[in-house]
Amino acid sequence: MPSYDYDIGIIGGGAAGLTVAAGSAQLGAKTLLIEKEKELGGDCLHYGCVPSKTLIRTAQVYHLMKTSTKFGLPGVKVPPVKYTHITKRIQSVIGTIQEHDSVERFCSLGAKVIFGTPVFSDDHAIRMNGETYTAKRWVIATGSSPAAPPFKGLTETPYLTNKEIFSLDRVPESMVILGAGPIATEMAQAFCRLDTEVHVVQRSGQILSREDKDMADLVMEALRSEGVRFYLNSTVQHISSHGEDSQEVVIKQGDNTPVSLKAEKILVAMGRKPNISDLGLGGIDVAFDRKGLKVDDRLKTTRKHIYGAGDVTGVYQFTHAAGYEGGIVVSNAVFHLPRKVNYKWIPWCTYSDPELASIGMNEKRAKEAGISYSTFTEPFAGNDRSLAEGERVGKIKMLLDEKENPIGVQILGPHAGELLNEWVAALNGKVKLSTLASAVHPYPTLSEINRKVVGAYFSPKIFSDKVKKGLKLFFQLKGRACESEA
């Protein structure tokens, strides 16, 4: 039996890698964690979820200040924001969370952390900083980076990605955002609220293209009403720079009209590419493609003792998905309890205002899968708490299959990401719709909408003519006491 320095070696100290490291070390496996940046935490902590949600909250408060009259308050003239103050707040939130992801914490759990850029020298060994480290099993959890589309002129033009956007020295006066996925949508609204003139260019006919069009259009309308300008069905022709703070994007709209968009900054948010190029994977027969590492449903790569988890696999690129996959790897590689991934109930949320949260099938995915479904909806305009909060936009949409089992839920509205968690529990726990319908929810709460949409399914059954006839027959009910004129 060959002997190795470590039971498990993990490359990448983000959500996926940290989950594997914490789990393995606590189970008593001799664990090595390698990170190429100078701190642990990965994209989510440093350039993704945490800074974006902190910025979004700040922009939301500024927006509330500017719209105070909507709440019956005096109107106020707010001074312009200083972005450096916002970046300071972002760094302070990151700093607090960083303590949880510190080298000391992982060492206390039993994992050794080292920093550098490793290259596989064989399928059990990596070379780094002039040393060789061997492990019985390896996990590649190196995440993803912003993809640079091959637009004419882009490489010669200064542009921003999620790596730079949270550490600018001032709020740009204007910005062209290329792409209209979750990151682009969130940033478009946040910067618009901070008084940047924002233009969003999208190739297809809707924003948030994984979502149902009716839901995505409502998000777009909300952003448009705040001032974001959208160019749908538009293709980028060329990009050029006329100075550090003067960029130009020429687009062609669906009707072939060319439009020149001039802005101080360009933000590229057009998808992600896996971080695999510098690992030496070609030499050890670990297969990958443009999207990421090829893994099976136990997250094993084409080398059975090398696993992949998180964004690098190119599947569901979310922090909670990375954490989930990390847990599956621990189960398979350390516990030897074979577990397969099951993405059926992986939820996600776009943190626009209103938020758009989703679990399971939406109409688009159901149609693609050839599943017959029915939909039930309830608007937030009918939710008392929502009205009290000043929030009228949005709805919940529930999909049932032919057997009337729930197959998916989308919520567009205030705190939709939080409201979805009731469905996360219900769907994972196979809770019956009748249980949800009869569970008393506190009044007035936004989450009453979850119960109400289930009620929309039961109402026609309970209050049907058949039921009424039966009750009349058995209990001699006298029927209507009032006839409306209409």
Ligand X SMILES: Cc1cc2nc3c(=O)[nH]c(=O)nc-3n(C[C@H](O)[C@H](O)[C@H](O)COP(=O)(O)OP(=O)(O)OC[C@H]3O[C@@H](n4cnc5c(N)ncnc54)[C@H](O)[C@@H]3O)c2cc1C
Contacts with ligand X by CB under 6 A lie at: 11-17, 34-37, 42-44, 47-49, 52-53, 117-118, 141-143, 162, 183, 275, 278-279, 310-312, 317-320, 322, 351
Order of strands across the sheet that contains 395-401: 348-350, 355-360, 406-413, 395-401, 373-379
Beta carbon nearer to ligand X, 219 or 322: 322
Q: In whole angstroms, how close is the CB of 310 to ligand X at the nearest point? A: 2
Smallest gap from Cβ 41 to ligand X, in A, equals 7
Residue number with CB closer to ligand X (138 or 457): 138
Residue nearest to ligand X (CB): 14
Segment holding 104, helix H or strand E: helix 103-109
Nearer to ligand X, 145 or 157 (CB): 145
CB 97 → ligand X: shortest distance, Å? 13
Euclidean distance between CA atoms 451 and 447, whole angstroms:
7
- Beta carbon of residue 339, minimum distance to ligand X (angstroms, whole number): 18
Question: What CA–CA distances, in Å, run from 407 to 99, 341, 342?
Answer: 39, 18, 15
Instruction: Give the nearest distance from C-beta 21 to ligand X in angstroms.
Output: 11
Contact predicate 50/319, CB 8 Å? no
Q: Are 387 and 381 in contact (CB under 8 A)?
A: yes
Q: For tokens 């940046």, what's the residue?
A: 37
Pick 41 or 453: Cβ nearer ligand X: 41
The CA distance from 390 to 402, in Å, is 37
User: By C-alpha distance, which of 333, 311, 327 is closest to 141?
Assistant: 311
Q: C-beta of 472: minimal distance to ligand X in Å? A: 53
Helix (H) or strand (E) holding 113, with range, is: strand 111-115
The SS3 of residue 319 is helix
Tokens 């940290």 correspond to what residue? 18
**190 or 251: CB nearest ligand X:** 190
| For ligand X, the closer CB: 280 or 379 | 280
Two tokens, residue 59: 């922009």
